[in-house]
Structure 1
């Protein structure tokens, strides 16, 4: 199986544990998110990093340059990844996936009833919820999941979430610079 993984970081191999992808927001720590579409993987390889440096235009009264902080745009890499027939749990929809994950989540809101992901409440235990959900799926023999037409930045896309980098081998690297 061939998938594409976008990252702002240069990788030589995949870590055993999920590294987190900012684009995935509350699902970033569930696993390593990939797609079968090269163009969609590019959106995961574009981001920013916070940089501190001496200013060329702002100075203190004594003439010393001020140190300024800003977000610098970064264009990273898209990795072509090979996996040898992983055991993946396939969800029929994003909604079914989120409903199965919900029992592990603790939400906060002004509302006093039982909250779900549909309420758009604040998720208080993202890392814990993702870890418990991943462990539950791993106990069922799953190496990861497939979510068809998952809503991401570039539009609906078939997304793969792999729980461990052990089964992923980098076949090729494409720099976006």
Structure 2
């Protein structure tokens, strides 16, 4: 068995639809990918109350991170006059893709970055009549095992204390 060409195995781009146009975000360079990983890790440490590496976060502030993670799509979005919230959401989606994977990026994109939109809250589920529990009883176990029946109770004799 031989190794196949990696560029044919990996889908190395995101395709983000904005205002009727699809922008292709190419895979980042190894340098950008490693920097994003470090930034995401430092942010997670800080969010957990730990001490984040200030040098990493300062480097992120100094460089144009959004342009780096969006690659050529950044210039296209700016030239097309894409609104700031859309450009920012695109860049954050690309960061999720870089630090996690395409499935996580798609979920982030489709929920506009709001994790509460992934699954409706309990009140919303209960108020939805189509989501109500079914009244059909579920089938019993089909594993072929059963519990032993309880021994019959003796009639007539009862113990007195």
Using structure 1 for the length normalisation, give the TM-score.
0.22
- Over alpha carbons, which structure has the higher Rg? 2
**Relative contact order, CA 8 A, sep 6+: which one is greater?**
1
Using structure 2 for the length normalisation, give the TM-score.
0.23
Q: Which structure shows the higher helix fraction?
A: 2
